Structure 1
Amino acid sequence: MSLLNHVIKVDDIMSSNSKDGVITLGGREFKRVKNGLDEIDVASFIDELIEERDKLAKSHEHAASLTRLAERTVVEADKLAAQVKAEAAEQAKAESAAIIDRAREQARQIAEQKLAEAVAHANEEAKAIKTKAEEEAAQLLENEKSRIRNELSNLVNQQFGYMLEEMDRLKQQAAAVQDKFDKKLSQPGEGYSALTVESEGESHAATVEIEENRAANMEAEKESDTTAVKVAEERDTAAPEIANESDTIVEKEGKALDEHVEPSRARDDTEKSFELSELLQMEERAELGSPQWEIEVLPPFEIAEVMEVVYFLDQLPEVANTEMIVPQIDMPSILVFLRESVDFVDVLRTSPAVAYVEEVIADTDATNGKPKKVRIGFSENSTSKGTK
């Protein structure tokens, strides 16, 4: 269509631009021939136009191809961007999880290390505390041994001195009786029978007094053993107080020991007293058999209170013997051997030192040959409650 328009306008152009047999069309000169333009020139021009048209078509097709390529590139770029974004997100998640795992592992290792350090430190402190406690306990035990040894030595020395005084007094009485007897013998025979009766009476009285002194000595030995047991018990139940009082007591008792004569002899007498007391207890237990009652002394208590109960029981005619044992640190017991059957619980209630009495009912003990049990207390604040 454009070519036709171009041909249509040729006449107009020719009329306006014709010069000397040459026509200029679109800036190109054509020769004029008869009835029109030169065919060769027109054909050449048309070829050029076709060539330009082809170039333009190719250029347009290339531009369209480039446009399609650009569109595909944009689409691919969008897809690639989305893929990269997704991969980046996945990689970020993976790296984040790895970082969290590493952080957790480091935290676990740090916690285990701190725990191990804390355990080691605690073990070291516990070991140090244990060592210190063992040293303090050993020192306390040694102090208590010294205190008990001094107390027993003091007690035995007192009893020994008392016995020496009694022996001197008895010797003086015996010498006086002997002098009196010799004087009577030098007199006439009519006073002989009266003298004999009087001498026998005095001799019997002296013998009784010696036996009483011997019994008092045995009681003192027994009391020494009981004191040792009770002091050991008080050591465990009142260790803080004992630790503070040990030095003062040892100093006082050391001064008291200095006042006695022959301390080495007193120590020998103490050892002999323990051996004799142990032998006597073994012989008495073999003769008396098993105890019928076991008295459990509930805390709190004092040695004097326990000794008062022991003395009270020993004075009873129904009681053959008593023996102190310590089955538990804070609860000593008194084994009672009876000569004859007696309502023992009611008897204990009559003791002035006892605040309450509680009988422990156990049918199996009687069938197994074990002694019956009864608990006593010296204060209403004792561990167990009973009825007085």
Structure 2
Amino acid sequence: MGKNGANDASFIELAGWEINKVKDGLDENQVVSLINDLISQRDQLVQRTEHFTSLTKLAERTVSEADKLAEEIKAQTVEQAKNETARLMAEAEAKARQIENETQKIQLELKNSVQGLFSQLLSGLDDLTQQVKALQEESEQKLARSLDKDTPVTTEANKTPADSREPAPTVSQKDTEEKTEPVSATQNRETSDQPNPDLELEILPPLDIMKIMEIVSYLDSLPEIENTELIPNTERPSIIVSPREPINLIDILSTMPEIAHLEEDSAEAADMSKPKKIQVSLSPQPVPQEAPKG
């Protein structure tokens, strides 16, 4: 509805509307139209407000659901990470146990193999030592028998005819001749008054075969020692020493560079049924080799 001017008293302006004046007041049609327009605007505002409210609620619900979904995803991720970590740790522990078991198995096999080879070597060296001793004793016996046989033959060859007519020698002469006859090492051992008790040298680990054989060789070279026997043992081999006379074996062996420490085993000292045991600790230092003589 257009305006007819600000000073025109034929209408009235209301809320931007120009309503004509009539005899009894305002134009009813225009008033109704204004009210309907206001109602329509109100309805549109209400509708927009409801739409905005719906959008706001939807946004709030979306944010809430997004937060909830994020928490669920986070919880699932943490749980999966824990499960994966536990699985990897279990696999690592199983692998470590497997490696440890295999390592122990290999170490045991190597230990058994080394112990077996060491025992065989000790046994072989002991057999060789016994063979050398047997050959030495056999040579001594042969030499003694040879001397026993050669002595009367030489005496008969040196006799003169006058000697053959002499009377038989007296008892004192026989005793003198018997005393001058050579006596073998075996006969000396058989004529000893009382046997001396054996001694046992227990070799403590760590072991060194060459040093052990040096000790055996040195003992065999001593005139006070009648016999030695090597007892193979993978952990603590022993040397049984049979002396010809009472000796202080600790003092004798203490000067050897192959030996670091000697100590008598007091636990078995009171047991007279067993050989006196001396525990031997080998020197960790290598023994210097003598230079060959030119």
When normalised by structure 1's length, the TM-score is: 0.46
| 1:304 matches 2:275 | no
Partner residue of 2:145 out of 149, 153, 164: 164
Task: Give the 3 Å change call, closer, same or farther, for CA 166–180 of structure 1 in structure 2.
Answer: farther
Root mean square deviation of aligned Cα? 5.6
**CA distance, structure 2, for counterparts of residue 158 and residue 104 of structure 1:** 79
Which of structures 1 and 2 has the bigger CA Rg?
Answer: 1
Aligned to 2:58: 77
Match of 2:179 in 1: 208
Aligned length: 249
The yes-or-no answer on 1:46 pairing with 2:28 is yes
Distance in 1 (alpha carbons) for counterparts of 2:45 and 2:190? 133
What whole-Å deviation, never above 9, does each CA across 1:120-171 have from its counterpart, x for those lacking one? Answer: 4313422441343144224413432441232123212211211221221244
TM-score (norm 2): 0.57
- Does residue 217 of the first structure (1) align with residue 186 of the second (2)? yes
Post-superposition offset of 1:104: 0.9
Q: Which amino acid aligns with 1:55?
A: N
For structure 1, list consecutive stretches of 5 or more residues without a partner in the other structure.
11-25, 27-35, 186-191, 223-228, 244-299, 312-321, 339-343, 382-388
Distance 2:158 2:64 in 1: 136
1:170 touches 1:206 (CA, 8 Å); kept in 2?
no
Query: Does 2:97 match 1:116?
Result: yes
Which stretches in structure 2 are left out of the alignment for 5+ residues? 12-17, 192-198, 286-294
The amino acid across from 2:175 in the alignment is H
Give, in whole Å, the separation in 1 of the partners of 2:227 and 2:49: 121
Cα distance in 2 for partners of 1:140, 1:375 equals 22
**Map of 1:99 onto structure 2:** 80
The answer to whether the 8 Å contact 1:325/1:335 transfers is: no
Q: 1:145 to 1:372 in 2, by over 3 A?
A: closer
Give the % identical residues: 9
- Contact (CA 8 Å) 2:220, 2:228: kept in 1 or not? no
Cα distance, 1:221 vs structure 2: 8.4
Q: Per chain length, whose mean CA-contact separation is higher, i.e. which structure has more relative contact order (CA < 8 Å, sep 6+)?
A: 2
> 2:43 matched to 1:62?
yes
1:273-299: per-residue Cα shift (whole Å, max 9, x none)? xxxxxxxxxxxxxxxxxxxxxxxxxxx
Higher helix share: 1
Counterparts of 2:28 and 2:106, CA distance in 1:
114
String of CA shifts for 1:147-197, please: whole Å, max 9, x gaps. Answer: 123212321221121122122124426756999898326xxxxxx4xx543
Q: Distance in 2 between matches of 1:108 and 1:309?
A: 69
Instruction: Give the Å deviation of 1:88.
Output: 3.0
Alignment of 1:293-372 (within 5 A): 301=215, 303-304=217-218, 308=222, 310=224, 329=237, 355=255
Q: Distance between the aligned counterparts of 2:179 and 2:52, measured in 1?
A: 141
Q: 1:230 to 1:218 in 2, by over 3 A?
A: farther
Structure 1 counterpart of 2:125, from 144, 152, 162: 144
How far the C-alpha of 1:91 sits from its partner, in A, is: 1.6
Q: 1:120 to 1:100 in 2, by over 3 A?
A: same
C-alpha distance in 1 between matches for 2:215 and 2:86: 61
Q: 1:360·1:372 contact (CA, 8 Å) conserved in 2?
A: no
